[in-house]
Amino acid sequence: MNFSKRLTWLSLAMILVSGWPAMAAEGRHKIVVMAFGDDEFAIVDIAKDTGKLVSVQAQILPNAQIGAVSEKNGVISIGLKTATGSETFEGKPGKDGKIRGLFTFRGTSYAAELVPTKDEKVAEMKSGQVSQEIFSLMRENAQKDPKTRAEAFRKLIDKYAGKPYAASIYAQYLSLSDQADMTEGDIKKTLNEWFSSAREYGEKWYDQSRGNAVKALKGKKKAAAGVLLDLAQDLDKTLSEETDLETKAEIAAVLSETARTLGKSDLADGVDKRLKGYEVKLDENYAKKVPPFKPLKMAEKKGAKPVVMELFTGAQCPPCVAADVGFDALGDTYSHTNVILLQYHLHIPGPDPLTNDDSVARQKYYGSEIGGTPSTFFNGKSDGGGGGSMAGSEGKYKQFRSIIDSGLAASPTATVDLKASRKGDLIEISAKAKTTGKPGEKAQPKLRMVITEKVVKYIGSNKLRFHHHVVRDMPGGAEGMSLDKAGTLDQSTKVDVKTLRGEIEKYVSDFEKKSTFFGTKPAIDLKKLSVVAFVQDDQTKEILGASSVDLVESP
């Protein structure tokens, strides 16, 4: 046997004796997820195609067990099976030997690292510390000039440079580019810093970071506009077939808007054609999936006291999803004579373009009973509070139904004879309110009127595409109009839709001067409108009676 053959057989023998080459991640490692800080989700012992779970954050990964472990084409994959599903880390070693990648948690991917350790137990979660630092900075600098705010965010970026959770700080900083008069050089330098660190966690995280940068710079008209156009065009071209439609639509919308801002109408027109197709498909998919349950249909209950359900929510509020979807399903369950739905939007936890002065005034009316969003009231009584994800929407729907069914057992203690019509841009409203008995000495019955829009399309950060029965105006004012001593009031008013649209546009425009809205601002269509009138005792907050009328638009 010649030398080369002997060497080949010797190499094969060594492999058979020692086993296959070790994984790059063999040994004990922490899975550190970097969504809002350096959070240790689990500690695992890894060997070739196998692993052992040493420690885990039980509240995050309940009943966790090790799943498939593999290394293929340099990518290390570690699966964790939990009571709520399967979560996976995928990453590969960088030039510095550190293993970086993504941890997919409940369908969302977060930057993560595989860090060698000898520890036996995961450390306490610390992500809240970084979030609190960001929110504290925002509060402390809220009233300061834009340049001072930008400088504060720049210092925080320097503190967390290279960390994936610095993404939200980069976004806040860049969102001030117009107001702080940043130069094109400042913006490009910041983007290069952001993207160079993001790329270390893989192309998917890099694309996600670029998408977040596009959103942060959206609508900017000064030095950022040219940078944004180049960034959006580059991202639009490089998105793969696997990229979800939602992301494609978001990037296309920004590209179209920016192109028009810079006078590039031909480019914008071409993008708009694709965008329209994306939106149609997304709306179709949404309608098939939301709500994720089948609402029941209840027969109308004659003579029952109508239940006015008021939902205080926010399009930037993820925990509001369950309440919002449960609320929407009620419209398919009850007749509008039995249940009247009112949805007030608030700037909680972030700016919401569906908010208006009247919705904020209504929040103040209930005061401390509204601790946040979502908050729900049934005939003026706080009940059914709390939120959740889409998976919890059926539970909220059933909870709301239980409260409503109980309320429908009562008889009204006030009546409202409501008439309303719309001709062109003119809405005429006539309401005659009367309590069933003379009001008590301390009672403060007031008539309030509301104009709602049946459906408004706006995709906020909580990803709900449609919002229903949105309060657009309270004719006569949110403070209401007092009934006389006999408990009666005859009130008529007119609303000019064109004027109302202008007021909404002004509110949104004024608010936008100090903050930035998520995504594309909603169109102010004001087409499918309803008028609601109710009598509420301000002494007890109880709604005594109510009525609603759908407006049929005529030329």
Q: Say which residue the tokens 């930008």 belong to.
A: 150
Give residue 463's pLDDT band: very low, low, confident or very high (50, 70, 90). very high
- Reply yes or no on whether the pLDDT at 472 is more than 50: yes
The residues facing 381 across adjacent strands are 378
Tell me what the pLDDT averaged over the chain comes to.
92
Q: Which two tokens stand for residue 518?
A: 């998520």
Q: Say which residue the tokens 């944004």 belong to.
A: 228
Per-residue model confidence (pLDDT) at position 2 = 46
Q: Which two tokens stand for residue 469?
A: 């029965």
Give residue 1's pLDDT band: very low, low, confident or very high (50, 70, 90). very low
Give residue 240's pLDDT band: very low, low, confident or very high (50, 70, 90). confident
Q: What angle do CA 239, 153, 115 make, to 5 degrees?
A: 65
CATH architecture, range 307-554: Sandwich (2.60)
C-alpha 488/C-alpha 17 separation (Å) is 96
The average pLDDT across 482-506 equals 97
pTM of the model: 0.74
- Reply yes or no on whether the pLDDT at 22 is more than 60: no
pLDDT in tens, 300-318: 999 999 999 999 999 999 9
Long-range own/partner contacts, residues 415-421 (CB < 8 A, 24 or more apart): 415/545, 415/547, 416/447, 416/533, 416/534, 416/535, 416/545, 416/546, 416/547, 417/547, 418/531, 418/533, 418/547, 418/548, 418/549, 419/549, 420/531, 420/549, 420/551, 421/551, 421/552, 421/554
| Domain ranges for the chain | 27-116, 138-289, 307-554
DSSP 424: T
Q: Residues of 285-309 as b/e, b for ≥16 C-beta within 10 angstroms? A: eeeeebbeeebeebeebeebbbbbb
C-alpha 433/C-alpha 412 separation (Å) is 12
Q: Are 205 and 109 within 8 A, CB to CB?
A: yes
pLDDT in tens, 159-208: 998 999 999 899 999 999 999 999 999 999 999 999 999 999 999 999 99
Q: What is the distance in angstroms between the CA of the first residue and the CA of the last residue of the chain? A: 100
Per-residue model confidence (pLDDT) at position 513 = 84
C-alpha 469/C-alpha 149 separation (Å) is 37
Give residue 4's pLDDT band: very low, low, confident or very high (50, 70, 90). very low
C-alpha 166/C-alpha 100 separation (Å) is 16
